[in-house]
Amino acid sequence: LGLPAPLPTTPVRRRTRRIHVGDVPVGGGAPVSVQTMTTTNTADIDATLQQIAEVTAAGCDIVRVAVPTQDDADALPAIVAKSKLPVIADIHFQPRYVFTAIDAGCAAVRVNPGNIKKFDDRVAEIAKAAQAARVPIRIGVNAGSLDQRLLAKHGAATPQALVESALWECSLFEEHGFRNIKIAVKHHDPMTMVSANRLLAQQCDYPLHLGVTEAGPTFQGSIKSAVAFSILLSEGIGDTIRASLSAPPVEQVKAGCHILQSLGLRPRKLEIVSCPGCGRLQVDIHHLAARVEAAFDGFPHPLRVAVMGCVVNGPGEAREADVGVSCGNGKGQIFVHGEVVRTVPEHRVVDALIEEALSLTEDTPSA
Ligand code: SF4
């Protein structure tokens, strides 16, 4: 059903140690996973679980929740019990929440031991508790949270500064024999983030979480994330990703999934192949493509659906599509696997595509 053959250029993944975030393996050749972070008040259990359900349906593998208050920490057991995804607790300065998160069954904890050491040195206790519960720790360093000492030394949040900071944070756990770690070094500039991850990949074997931090609104953020992730993943670097868009978590997940699908690192789901339009255009292609995309949202089979703006290059140009339409003179030629099967008035095009897609997949189990 239109699934692309595996890319001959699928990159050889960097060898890393493998950790497990709940039942999701990360690193050590495991599939690259997609993450996001909820935007609800974590203490609002129903709202948080609702958002987790939405991102689960969109293809998310791992979800992170912020734990800035005691109420948020108290909500963790109920969230973990009902979430279908492994839950990472994101904690900054309060070591006591780390223990609550581990007791609640969180699949991992994001905490920077440098912060804990500075304010309430309980790094050894955290390492011991996480070790006993087999809970990995995610260490995250970004330009905004860079240690002042390193900022002074390097003059800016350079790739070297980010890497030095991350490896120093790791060493605080390593001193206690703890190595169940993954690392994220993030920067809002994609190429700085790429350089930092390349450097980090040379200097440790921990799995790496990729993110362009504060990437921006959906359009800009998706492009910045796609550029950075593509460079790194094509070099085999990166084990889990998050597109940090200023957009709802579900949009972040969709962007992450599309990036992995485009790189041949995740099986393709539904794909809309629509032409950009040109002087031959005989329909409002942008509007029609958006309507087709909306109508097929959630379609449970990995079809490729073509939407072409004229009949000149229609079925021929989109012959690899499973179903498609080429438009002209107020009509749409509906084609299936490159063969025109019927012609319908323009207002019937979307329904006709859905009908053909359903009949094509009626005997196929859902993906
Ligand atoms: Fe132009 Fe037709 Fe190709 Fe669309 S399908 S880009 S309208 S030639």
Helix, strand, coil shares of the chain, percent, nearest 5, are: 45, 20, 40
At 238, give phi and psi (nearest 5°). 120, 130
For ligand 1, is residue 280 a contact (CB within 6 Å)? yes
Question: Which one has a higher pLDDT value, 197 or 13?
Answer: 197
278 in helix, strand or coil? coil
287-300 pLDDT, tens digit per residue, is: 999 999 999 988 88
Please check the confidence at residue 231 and state whether its pLDDT lies above 50: yes
For ligand 1, is residue 278 a contact (CB within 6 Å)? yes
| Residue 134, amino acid | R
For ligand 1, is residue 81 a contact (CB within 6 Å)? no
How much distance in Å is there from the Cα of 276 to the middle of ligand 1? Answer: 7
238-258 pLDDT, tens digit per residue, is: 999 999 999 999 999 999 999
CA distances from 96 to 2, 73, 177 (A): 51, 9, 21
Between the two ends of the chain, the Cα-to-Cα distance in Å is 11
Helices (H) and strands (E) in the chain, counts: 13, 15
ipTM over the 0.95 cut-off: yes
- C-alpha–C-alpha distance, residues 240 and 247, integer Å: 19
**Which of 272, 273, 274, 275 maximizes ligand 1 atoms within 8 Å of its Cβ, making it the mutation to test the pocket?**
275
Which ligand 1 atom is the nearest neighbour of the CA of 311? 2
pLDDT for residue 267: 86
- Listing DSSP states for 33-63 in one string gives EEEEE--S-TT-HHHHHHHHHHHHHTT--EE
